[in-house]
Amino acid sequence: MQFAARASASPPYASNQAACGPSFRHPGCLNRHPRCPMSIRSDHDESERPLLTLLSIAAQRQRERLLVALEARGFEGIAMPEVRLAKELEQRGPSSIQTLADATETTKQFCAREVKKLERGGYVVSKASQGDRRVTLVGLAPKGQRLLEAVHDVKSELDGGIAEKLGGPNATRLRTLLERLVESSVKD
């Protein structure tokens, strides 16, 4: 870890705020210092903060809440790439590493590494394809299905929390606007 050698009472970013960015995020960073590109604080008027920044912050916080809630339900050590792979397996059924890599727009090597983590945790099982013994198929194990059920439940709870904070009509409007944004970005 980059800051392990430092022994100071101040936070690691205090002397090196410019280090925080897309390629580096210090441990525990919630981007609360002003020079961080994802900062939740701003030296500018709040209306000047880019929409992309606001969307990124909101999404990152929801992902963090999801992972914390999953851990509280006994699914320790799960990360978002693993959740995404499990969701792909749920939709596709047993799939090759290459198929999963293509579906998640990752490399075969990255996908294989994440599948190994899921396999060690008992979330997926791997077996040779009957049609081609050189191909390994990965499928959800019962524990992986329970993980996805928990993910669904937690996401519903998080959505409910958003609706509660914003109010029902505002949450509905936010969903509509975000769906429109997603649809328009697919067409670009």
* Per-residue pLDDT tens digits for 133-179: 888 899 999 999 999 999 999 999 999 999 999 998 999 999 999 99
- Number of other CB atoms surrounding residue 16 within 10 Å: 14
Measure CA 109 to chain center.
19
- Give the single-character DSSP code of 24: B
Rounded Cα distance between 11 and 23, Å, is 19
pLDDT above 70 (res 10): no
Give the residue among 106, 148, 111 at the shortest CA–CA distance from 126: 111
CB 140 within 8 A of CB 124: yes
Tell me, yes or no, if the pTM score tops 0.85. no
**Residue showing tokens 């939740």:** 40
* Spatial CB neighbours of 32, under 8 Å, sequence gap ≥ 6: 39, 40, 41
